[in-house]
């Protein structure tokens, strides 16, 4: 029996950070419907804090999906959290800068300050009846012991999953395997992996995360994303399809790549 790999697609949010990529309302709804029909387990529909237009398209996606879970992304502040709640998604994903570099420069706080704010944000969402996942931003440059301690606390609070984000794209397969293994052994909630392709290893690192026991992988169509892009859904499904049950097929993944390349007027180099 094949192992299961939960596929989460973030084309509509992280993919749109590709230079020159600005999706319209209709394009986002169309892509979401394609992802849903192809069997993608979860769709990252966007960031509600971006404003009314973003919230409107997220609500449209939520109202018209058939099977996929819909997630939204937010930061650890009340305005973001309330905007996320207003969209009534299946899941609210809270991004937590976890490396010392990000804690000090982005949040201008300490490790204890970050932990306090994260736990407060999780409680705020949980108290209102929503599922919560937490993303460890810049996890590849963070202290594994610190991440493990917070992960254990998040499990106690009922957080659905924790995502290891290689935000700056510096991981290798062996390091990915070791980090994910360490987090799982610490008693973390199920781990998912979000990789960037700066060193050309987003797909390889994602496979290493699965081998280490990760619950799922976040992808984008055509590997769209900032800088060198993210883990390409088609390539990942092609690589793991014989070993993991993903909910979709390589043929469907190729179809999605072709459709999105047409929508965005991009060249599709697949066979």
Domains in the chain: how many in total? 1
Distance between CA atoms of residues 195 and 229, nearest Å: 9
Is 188 part of any domain? yes
Confidence (pLDDT) at 232:
97
Q: Are 198 and 169 spatial neighbours (Cβ–Cβ below 8 Å)? A: yes
Is 102 part of any domain? yes
Confidence (pLDDT) at 184:
97
pLDDT of residue 19 exceeding 80, the answer is no
| Range in 17-26, 29-38, 184-193 with the lowest mean pLDDT | 17-26
Is 269 part of any domain? no
How crowded is residue 145: how many other Cβ atoms within 10 Å of its Cβ? 10
pLDDT of residue 250 exceeding 70, the answer is yes
pLDDT of residue 20 exceeding 80, the answer is no
pLDDT digits (tens, 9 = 90+) for 61-113: 999 999 999 999 999 999 999 999 999 999 999 999 999 999 999 999 999 99
pTM of the model: 0.96
* CATH for 154: 3.20.20.70
Could you say which DSSP state residue 227 is in? T
Is 270 part of any domain? no
Distance between CA atoms of residues 63 and 143, nearest Å: 40
Note down the domain range covering 78: 3-263
Q: What is the DSSP string of 55-69?
A: HHHHHHHHHH-SS-E
Is 268 part of any domain? no
Confidence (pLDDT) at 271:
58
């Amino acid at each position: 029996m094949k192992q299961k790999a939960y596929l989460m697609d973030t084309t509509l949010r992280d993919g749109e950070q590709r230079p020159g990529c600005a999706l319209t309302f209709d394009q986002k709804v169309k892509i979401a419907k394609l992802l849903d029909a192809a069997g993608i387990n979860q769709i990252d529909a966007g960031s509600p804090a971006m404003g009314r237009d973003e919230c409107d398209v997220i609500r449209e996606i939520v109202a018209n999906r058939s099977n996929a879970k819909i997630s939204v992304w937010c930061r650890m502040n009340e305005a973001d959290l309330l905007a996320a709640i207003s969209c009534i998604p299946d899941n609210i994903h809270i991004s937590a800068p976890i490396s010392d570099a990000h804690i000090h420069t982005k949040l201008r706080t300490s490790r204890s300050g970050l932990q306090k704010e994260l736990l407060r944000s999780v409680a705020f969402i949980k108290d209102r009846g929503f599922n919560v996942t937490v993303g460890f931003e810049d996890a590849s440059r963070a202290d594994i012991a610190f991440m493990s301690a917070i992960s254990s606390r998040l499990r106690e609070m009922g957080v659905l999953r924790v995502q290891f984000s290689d935000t700056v794209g510096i991981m290798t397969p062996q390091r990915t395997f070791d980090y994910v293994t360490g987090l799982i052994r610490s008693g973390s909630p199920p781990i998912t992996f979000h990789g960037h392709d700066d060193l050309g290893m987003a797909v390889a690192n994602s496979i290493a995360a699965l081998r280490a026991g990760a619950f799922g992988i976040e992808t984008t169509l055509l590997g769209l994303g900032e800088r060198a892009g993210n883990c390409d859904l088609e390539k990942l499904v092609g690589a793991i399809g014989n070993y993991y049950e993903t909910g979709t097929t390589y043929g469907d993944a190729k179809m999605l790549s072709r459709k999105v390349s047409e929508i965005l007027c991009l060249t599709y180099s697949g066979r």
